[in-house]
Amino acid sequence: MKFFQISLFFFLFSACVESGKGMRQPDFIKGVYGNPAALWDKGYNFQSLGMNAVFVRSGSLTPEFVERSRREQVKIFVEFPVLNGKEYLTRHPEAWPITEKGERAVPADWFMGICPTDSGFKNERFNALSQLLTAFKVEGVFLDYFHWHAQFETPHPILPETCFCERCIGLFEKFGAVNVPSGKTSIRAQWILQYAEPAWRRWRGTVLTDWAIEAKALIKSFNTDLLMGIYHCGWFPADHDSALYKNLGIDLPALASVADVLSPMLFHQMKARPVSWVRDYMKWLGKQDWATGSSAPKFWPIVQGHNNPGKVSSADFKKVLEFGALYPSTGVMPFSAESIAGDTAKMKVLKGFY
């Protein structure tokens, strides 16, 4: 009888973990991303929805928001845009990302990235981060727009080769212990991609990892208990000819060794993926050595509730929440608060799930 009871327990436990329902940790993060005040505007209360966290854009963070969130007993995590350079480039064109043709990169749809090795830009962003953490008491900071210039929130991603400015080529030469032939930028870029591509890709990954290391040190200098998270593209490594690593410069194992939390952006409909893609990604993630074990970061996926393109049904919204909660997830959040606040069916799903 005892053997039967034990076997039944493990069967039910496995079923719960597989479905993403029940058996979750008491501290499982149940949040929303965007401007959660949109939920208040519709008459909702965070506690009554079962939420225990909010992920708020830095531009939406106010003393009033913090005060009411504290009353409703939710943790506050603030999104901090990192490598979105559109405004900075109007004042500092020397920071413009340069393509392999030796030309300024054009905007990738609505996004305009920047050369991440520009020290002036990095100093400005870190000063802004310091000001944010001085002004507001939060539980953590999530880095966003954390990639080299590109656009991935679309079925047909825009993946330029950058950055081949003189500064980047010089830094790469030191990193790879190589001498890139002199000449026109296009010729130098062609040589790098033909004769030194593996080292070039590694160097680009270290540039972003160094950003993460420095950002974490700054965040922890305010409070060692603060968490640093990173929102990142949720592609599989081989997708789009390995563009996650090759073009975006995202080295997930390296970032996993730095970040406290990784939040894959699993926007299925934006990327013309089936709902099951969210489940498949989480299953893949749970098999990676760097994603499991005592030294692994936490994983809090962000899933799509936003109606673009087309409409995300309430049934599909429920599924992506469930799939986003699968192992190794210890939290989940939908994008975005504004888009689901006015949708009664989705709000019913959110409350029921949380």
pLDDT tier at 284, thresholds 50, 70, 90: very high
Residues 69, 71: Cα–Cα separation, whole Å: 5
Q: 10 Å Cβ neighbour count for 94?
A: 11
pLDDT tier at 293, thresholds 50, 70, 90: confident
H or E, element range at 57: strand 53-57
In a domain, 6, yes or no: no
- Summarize the confidence of residues 204-230 as an average pLDDT: 98
* Residue 152 dihedral angles phi and psi, to the nearest 5°: -120, -5
In a domain, 22, yes or no: no
In a domain, 196, yes or no: yes
In a domain, 339, yes or no: yes
In a domain, 191, yes or no: yes
Does position 51 have pLDDT exceeding 80, yes or no? yes
- What is the CATH classification number for the domain harbouring 214? 3.20.20.80
In a domain, 10, yes or no: no
Q: 10 Å Cβ neighbour count for 3?
A: 7
Q: Which residues contact 258 (CB under 8 A, 6 or more apart)?
A: 209, 212, 213, 216, 228
Residues 98, 182: Cα–Cα separation, whole Å: 16
- Sign of the torsion angle spanned by Cα atoms 327, 330, 336, 338: positive
Q: 10 Å Cβ neighbour count for 120?
A: 12
Give the total number of structural domains in the chain: 1
Does position 19 have pLDDT exceeding 90, yes or no? no
In a domain, 86, yes or no: yes
- Summarize the confidence of residues 8-33 as an average pLDDT: 60
pLDDT tier at 13, thresholds 50, 70, 90: very low
Does position 15 have pLDDT exceeding 90, yes or no? no
Q: How far is CA 203 from CA 117, 163, 177, 243, in A?
A: 11, 11, 11, 15
Can you give the residue range of the structural domain that contains 102?
A: 28-353
Residues 45, 30: Cα–Cα separation, whole Å: 14
Q: What is the pLDDT of residues 79-89, one digit of tens each?
A: 999 999 999 99
